[in-house]
Chains A and B, each alone.
Chain A
């Protein structure tokens, strides 16, 4: 194996390991988007009138909006009339009541991914709300959670069973008119997860959702809403893989978090959607709006993300720090290899007094990958004593990739303290040679250096996720330095 500088980017060869398509008949509606399609989606899900109206309002607003072009990503124009907006796996009844009722083909898919539901249910102590295409097919541990008053179910189910809660909080953090993709999602969202943790309850297990895009050419429009009532705590894991694809797939999810007084929400993501092939063909367009509102005093929301997949990532998990003494955190590792592009970061909006936020962003670029950190820290006039610490580090592997940093700071209160640190480094041929001279192979050396670079973020992840994240990073970067 060579380690000369001009071969630094030659290895990038790890094929997407999880590219397979499950043969399940999809219950899809025709391509394109108009009010009838939205009515059809709403009807299929037997939604109440207010929700249909909410969708239609979002759709009407969306029609007046333009796709954003400020992000540092480049892709051919998306034909929104050439997308299928709803697909559900065909099942005999509307929803299976237990794992036994789940399509065995579907369960086998999860097994191939190494996330057997049954084993998870039994061993891992993780309740899984599995989203396959757009309809939730299995929800586990629900009974146990129910006994504590915790609601954890698919979004559709929540609309049926807990309409008041949904109506109260839906769109309260990310309004349907927030941005182009959020408006689109609000109009056509198919399903997702809902979680409500009541006053004073600490959720005893990590709640986990495995998203998966499967039916060909189906856009995915997930909607997640998590509410932690006063003094509640919940840790939520989101992870995903997708089968190999030729055509680009649009994914425009919305996640809303609400933390009331003294509540805490920890939201962790490992994102591993199909990134496209080595030439940059195919791959997921991941245009996601994630935002959390620390509404209550002493509340805390922390986002941790490991983004290794998708052809294009456009994503800024943010915190609105409204309650006094509330805390927002953002820990991110974003990897771009081959022709992947990522424009990701966060917004921390300080509104309440003595609010604090921490941003730790680690971008790794390899191959022809382009990695952009874009972050905004706003200290409003009301936010006396606010503090922010931001750290943005970029690592380059090879000579053809790029790293970009766009930090925006807006401080309107003179008592605020804002710190920003940034660094750019390169995995050098000299580092690799030093490791090899000590007997450590190139692959191991890269993995060691990259893990060292990312460890401040990894240690924020729940244990089982940290292991998966390290593996993913290895797979994503295998062969990037030679």
Chain B
């Protein structure tokens, strides 16, 4: 049984239909890339899977680990192992990164029937993961994402992922706003977490991230539907020919052509 099974998923925001029937099956151990032009619905898909109520699901179903995902509250999805690395990580002034992450980890551990970690155990766990992400330890004591540079925010997301060890990680445009060095660092953090027990969905506009995080499958999303699926070579194809080679355009361009 697939870890994630999306069937004919439709979703809208306000009165605009964005997802118009998505089918996707993701198994443990697999890395799927979702590519597509701006406005194709990539980020919407990521947010819907995480349970953002801004988006209204109007049809279809999503099974996660055999359970009806759409019935679950966002925090329950997180506790069951779904992690979304945000395209725009949110600033929470006044709440230290360490306090936040410890609270998150402990709710997830509690859900798994594990004992909560105390401050000492947590700190030693975190130190190790920070070193791996080459993150400045002072970031731990700073408020969540507050005053972080764009690159620090993105690295912080992957660092959180490393600590929370999700079963399904969804990376929403994690490459945007990163220079090449930061991109490599983030990618190596992600790659170090690949394994048979974990699935990943990597949402990206550009192929360059996929040079670093090589996917098992690539899907091209356009106008709310997956128009083409293939192996990693599909990403290279797109790089050479652009989305236009598939007859797919940015939303704005599409409107212009209509």
A residues in contact (CB < 8 Å) with B = 1-4, 425, 428-431, 433-442, 444, 448-449, 451-453, 455
Query: Is B79 a contact of A439 with CB atoms below 8 Å?
Result: yes
Once A436-B78, A437-B78, A440-B104 are accepted as A-B contacts, the answer to whether A1 and B93 lie under 8 Å apart by CB is no
Query: Is A440 a contact of B103 with CB atoms below 8 Å?
Result: yes
Interfacial chain B residues near A433, Cβ < 8 Å: 52-53, 74, 90
B75 within 8 Å of A (CB atoms): yes
With A and B bound together, what is the CA distance between A55 and B111 in angstroms? 64
Query: Is A449 a contact of B84 with CB atoms below 8 Å?
Result: no
B123 within 8 Å of A (CB atoms): no
Once A4-B54, A440-B103 are accepted as A-B contacts, the answer to whether A448 and B95 lie under 8 Å apart by CB is yes
Q: Name which residue of chain A comes closest to B160, CB basis.
A: A438
B109 CB, min distance to chain A CBs, angstroms: 9
Q: Name which residue of chain A comes closest to B80, CB basis.
A: A439
Q: Identify the interface centre among A428, A442, A448: most chain B CB within 10 Å of its CB.
A: A448
Q: Name which residue of chain A comes closest to B53, CB basis.
A: A4
Q: Within the complex, which residue of B95, B96, B111 is in contact with A449, where a contact is CB–CB below 8 Å?
A: B95
Interfacial chain A residues near B75, Cβ < 8 Å: 436-437, 439-442
Chain A contact residues: over half helix, strand or loop, or mixed?
helix
Q: Which of B80-107 contact A (CB under 8 A)?
A: 83-84, 86, 89-96, 99-101, 103-104, 107
List 9 A-B residue pairs with CB atoms under 8 Å apart, sorted by A's residue number. Answer: A425-B93, A433-B53, A438-B164, A439-B75, A440-B100, A440-B107, A441-B75, A452-B93, A452-B96
Q: Identify the interface centre among B54, B75, B78, B143: most chain A CB within 10 Å of its CB.
A: B75
B50 within 8 Å of A (CB atoms): yes
Q: Within the complex, which residue of B53, B86, B94, B160 is in contact with A455, where a contact is CB–CB below 8 Å?
A: B94
Q: A2-B53, A437-B74, A448-B95 are in contact. List 5 more A-B contacts (CB 8 A).
A: A429-B54, A439-B164, A440-B104, A442-B75, A452-B94
Once A439-B75, A444-B103 are accepted as A-B contacts, the answer to whether A434 and B89 lie under 8 Å apart by CB is yes
Interfacial chain A residues near B93, Cβ < 8 Å: 425, 452-453
With A and B bound together, what is the CA distance between A224 and B107 in angstroms? 46
Q: Within the complex, which residue of A1, A442, A452 is in contact with B92, where a contact is CB–CB below 8 Å?
A: A452
Query: Is A439 a contact of B111 with CB atoms below 8 Å?
Result: yes
With A and B bound together, what is the CA distance between A325 and B78 in angstroms? 54
Q: Identify the interface centre among B50, B94, B99, B160: most chain A CB within 10 Å of its CB.
A: B94
B73 within 8 Å of A (CB atoms): yes
Interface string of B47-87 (1 = CB under 8 A from A): 00011111000000000000000000111011100011010
Query: Is B90 a contact of A430 with CB atoms below 8 Å?
Result: yes
Interfacial chain B residues near A444, Cβ < 8 Å: 103, 107
Q: Name which residue of chain A comes closest to B82, CB basis.
A: A437
With A and B bound together, what is the CA distance between A295 and B113 in angstroms? 60
Query: Is A452 a contact of B143 with CB atoms below 8 Å?
Result: yes
Query: Is B92 a contact of A439 with CB atoms below 8 Å?
Result: no
Once A433-B74, A448-B95 are accepted as A-B contacts, the answer to whether A439 and B104 lie under 8 Å apart by CB is yes
With A and B bound together, what is the CA distance between A435 and B90 in angstroms? 9
Interfacial chain A residues near B73, Cβ < 8 Å: 1, 436
Interfacial chain A residues near B50, Cβ < 8 Å: 437
Query: Is B92 a contact of A449 with CB atoms below 8 Å?
Result: yes
A282 CB, min distance to chain B CBs, angstroms: 33
Once A4-B54, A439-B79 are accepted as A-B contacts, the answer to whether A434 and B92 lie under 8 Å apart by CB is yes
Interfacial chain B residues near A451, Cβ < 8 Å: 94-95
Q: Name which residue of chain A comes closest to B95, CB basis.
A: A452
Interface string of B98-138 (1 = CB under 8 A from A): 01110110011001000000000000000000000000000
Q: Within the complex, which residue of B83, B84, B90 is in contact with A431, where a contact is CB–CB below 8 Å?
A: B90
B111 CB, min distance to chain A CBs, angstroms: 7
Interfacial chain B residues near A455, Cβ < 8 Å: 94
With A and B bound together, what is the CA distance between A436 and B54 in angstroms? 14
Q: Name which residue of chain A comes closest to B52, CB basis.
A: A433
Interfacial chain A residues near B101, Cβ < 8 Å: 438
With A and B bound together, what is the CA distance between A1 and B164 in angstroms? 23
Interfacial chain B residues near A437, Cβ < 8 Å: 50-51, 74-75, 77-78, 83-84, 86
Q: Identify the interface centre among B84, B93, B107: most chain A CB within 10 Å of its CB.
A: B93
With A and B bound together, what is the CA distance between A433 and B50 in angstroms? 9
With A and B bound together, what is the CA distance between A438 and B164 in angstroms? 9
With A and B bound together, what is the CA distance between A2 and B92 in angstroms? 20
With A and B bound together, what is the CA distance between A425 and B94 in angstroms? 12
With A and B bound together, what is the CA distance between A434 and B104 in angstroms? 11
A391 CB, min distance to chain B CBs, angstroms: 13
Q: Within the complex, which residue of A3, A425, A438, A442 is in contact with B104, where a contact is CB–CB below 8 Å?
A: A438
Interfacial chain B residues near A440, Cβ < 8 Å: 75, 100, 103-104, 107
With A and B bound together, what is the CA distance between A429 and B51 in angstroms? 13
Interfacial chain B residues near A425, Cβ < 8 Å: 93
Interfacial chain B residues near A448, Cβ < 8 Å: 92, 95, 99-100, 103
Once A4-B54, A452-B143 are accepted as A-B contacts, the answer to whether A439 and B108 lie under 8 Å apart by CB is yes
With A and B bound together, what is the CA distance between A212 and B54 in angstroms? 45
A74 CB, min distance to chain B CBs, angstroms: 31
Query: Is B107 a contact of A439 with CB atoms below 8 Å?
Result: yes
A143 CB, min distance to chain B CBs, angstroms: 41
